[in-house]
Structure 1
């Protein structure tokens, strides 16, 4: 008589980690989700930490190839390619908002447009920060090809610079500069295509001392068919680094 071998019980395979999303899982079921798109050269960790200010909100920061933990991957320098690749691997969990700061605002906007084009669930709010409306013409030097020294000087003058602790570490600077170059190339190759306003409430944030002007922020009005709300905060381009509390109040609202 042949005794059958016991069949081992197989547990569910662990879910594959989405390389696009960085976040700290909540112990309780989230009431909502916030997906943050960082600024040029920005690392996800700065935005993941916002979870401490937003109770009940699962905060994720989007990490593009060539940045942060994905520094070894080839960077994408075409925004359409970024949006397609992100949506191939990512399903946003409702209810959710999208937030983008500086260049991240443009990425979040184009992601929302693509979600609408595909008939997928839209965010409850699109929050754009410190970036001119996407249809406005852009004039200025091409930044992606600048020598390292000139690029660092420009970052210090125009964008508040690389954080001092990071700037003091040559290895960290060498790691960050390719990400800045890729992000600037992404912006330099972007061409806005008219498609009508979004059926999504729009929240526009900015710093009162930023080089992005109130008129450039007001121009976002044409990109929502629902509501547009503007909030100005004390500070410059990175106003939320000075005082996160009022910004968190808007994001939680």
Structure 2
């Protein structure tokens, strides 16, 4: 029982099938490839990536500029498979993972057994911020660095690399700017939610802890030393915690698809 490969879902070759799949949602301007490299340190799950338009193998495609556009297109094309699965999202990817889980529930489809959300406060605390996606390249990069920390050095030294990345980054920052929390908060999910963050990040532990209200299932908060990208340079602590959490879900007997709407 394998997930349907599509433009949206990519899998690192050579992995053995596992009892649980983990789908990575990348950060603003990021690609699934950065996270799929972690597969060797996550033996408890079969690692997949959610590849957004405008990056990686989809670099020539137009990237969505609203959260609704992203989630609508993703859920229309992607089949996450029949076995239990979880989502991991970092930064904007955390918000996208949550919104995708909501959309799957609304469609009466099997949703994630667990959400692992990194470096993004609960949706009702979302701060749209300025329209930085309207800035030119160097100013956009500078604005992103002020908000989230250093970008890859190639963004400053390699114009061709920067040009490839800027399209997806600009679209993602448009999503950040245009996203608005719902006037009425959705019913909580029933899956486990684990939230990760960096001790020096502007997404404080208080903002991260507010995700507790978004599930009726177990909630866990883990804060690591570091900034917004606390796992860069030393991912062992995060991946150790993540793999132990995944191992606890390898035989989720209670995992069932949501009931179809009446």
Q: Work out whether the TM-score is over 0.5.
A: yes
Deviates more, 1:102-111 or 1:132-141: 132-141
Relative contact order (alpha carbons < 8 A, sep ≥ 6): 1 or 2 greater?
2
Match for residue 60 of structure 1 among 48, 53, 62: 48
**TM-score under structure 1 length normalisation:** 0.89
CA contact (8 A) 1:152 1:161 kept: no
The residue that corresponds to 2:23 in the other structure is 35
The residue that corresponds to 1:8 in the other structure is none
Structure 2 CA distance, aligned partners of 1:110 and 1:125?
Answer: 14
The residue that corresponds to 1:49 in the other structure is 37
Deviates more, 1:129-138 or 1:102-111: 129-138
The residue that corresponds to 1:155 in the other structure is 144
Structure 1 CA distance, aligned partners of 2:15 and 2:140?
Answer: 42
**TM-score under structure 2 length normalisation:** 0.86
Structure 2 CA distance, aligned partners of 1:188 and 1:202?
Answer: 25
Q: Any stretches of 5+ residues in structure 2 without a counterpart?
A: 246-262
Match for residue 170 of structure 2 among 181, 198, 206: 181
Deviates more, 1:82-91 or 1:137-146: 137-146
Match for residue 78 of structure 1 among 63, 66, 69: 66
The structure with the largest alpha-carbon Rg is: 1
- Deviation of 1:53 (Å): 0.6
Q: CA RMSD in A?
A: 1.7
Q: Any stretches of 5+ residues in structure 1 without a counterpart?
A: 1-14
- Deviation of 1:126 (Å): 0.6
